[in-house]
Amino acid sequence: MRHPFRWLVIVVLLAAFTAPALAQDATPEPLAPWVCPPGFEGQNLNVFNWSIYIAEDTVANFEAACGIKVTYDVYFTNEELVTKLRQGNPGYDIIVPSDYMVAIMIEEGLLETLDKSLIPNFANLSPDLTDPWYDADNAHTVPYQWGTVGLAYNKTATGREITSYKDMFEYDGNVAWLEDLRSMLAIGLVQLGYSPNSTNPDEINAAKDLLIANSGNVQAIVMGNSKELLARGEVDIAVDYNGNVFGLIAECAADPNCATEYAYSIPSEGTGLWTDNLAIPVGAQNIPLAHAFIDYIFHPQVGADISNFVVYGTPNQQALDLGLILPQYLNNPALYPPPEVRARLYQIEPVAPDVESVYNDAWDEIKVRFGG
């Protein structure tokens, strides 16, 4: 069932993301570095995050600031994350679930309540990202990065712009899909004129059938990073999270031998807007140090360094206000969408366990038919 209030939240939330870029002529004043609270020396922090989703020096700098050791593990889907925690937290202190999964995890009692007195940099959060629909008053989470699902493609190979999922389905060449069952089935649902969050099993299965019928050009289902397949020329189009292709674009621009033009588009039919969030799971071994890590991430320079490296939208208003986001990203409509694009975005919402099973079964059948 569509929730009108939540669609309103998308429009309001994105208004801050598309604010005019600050003047970039003046060099920002150096910021005082983040200072770790005392008493953590020699301790350990266990982080469980998405793959390729943090700046190269973020963890090392936190370790040095606090005199601690971070164990950093990665996962590839929200379902992988929640399945592991449902079995009992093996000791993770920080996790990064997406919006709809946050709501599910709160309902299942899998997240700790945050003590914001231990996160003074929470004040740097964009006002339009506070009190999100999936976590009232940010009681359990703080946004980490945000972005869209869309089409990354090799414009040299396609010979034209790819602007819709219909273009991908009809493309006479190799494509890759995203290992994100709710995002992919939402594509099928929207193609059929249904809600991307349908709870009707018949509609979900119709979306499954549509995807299967249009899978003839699919060469791979990728766990959230298609850039290697695009770079090797194994696929020309891929459904992916927007930030993943921008690293490839930057690498190609810096290589005089790269004659390929890569691009990313937000499909005309509409596509998913997501927000990933920092959270502390129930069963965490070091809750005080986890709070310190969240506060560290929300230092303006630390937050800007992450967003400039992974190339997703920052939730850090101070990073924006201080001009710390690179202008080529801040002024990119594929990263900070303009109003006419905002109207095409939707958010994936949680569904009841019985409907979740329908989605899971539909995706499993797609992968079996595909050979995955």
pLDDT, tens only, 98-127: 999 999 999 999 999 999 999 999 999 999
Q: Is the pLDDT of residue 283 over 80?
A: yes
Confidence band for 185, pLDDT divided at 50, 70 and 90: very high
Q: Look up residue 138 and give its DSSP letter.
A: G
pLDDT at 225 exceeding the cut of 60: yes
Tell me the CA distances in angstroms from 15 to 273, 330, 347, one per residue in order: 13, 13, 16
277, 144 Cβ separation under 8 angstroms? yes
Share of the chain above pLDDT 70, in %: 91
What is the location of CATH 3.40.190.10 in the chain? 28-146+273-337, 148-269+344-370
* pLDDT value of position 371: 62
Q: How confident is the model over 22-62, as pLDDT tens digits?
A: 434 445 567 899 999 999 999 999 999 998 899 999 999 99
pLDDT of residue 30: 76
For residue 250, what pLDDT is reported? 85
Q: In Å, what is the CA distance from 363 to each residue of 78, 84, 185, 266, 372?
A: 14, 19, 8, 23, 10
Candidate CATH numbers 3.90.1010.20, 1.10.357.10, 3.10.450.50, 3.40.190.10; the one for domain 148-269+344-370: 3.40.190.10
Q: Are 183 and 149 in contact (CB under 8 A)?
A: yes
pTM of this prediction? 0.86
* pLDDT of 257 over the 80 cut: yes
CATH 1.10.1200.10 fits 28-146+273-337, yes or no: no
The rounded mean pLDDT for the chain is 91
Average pLDDT over residues 130-147: 97
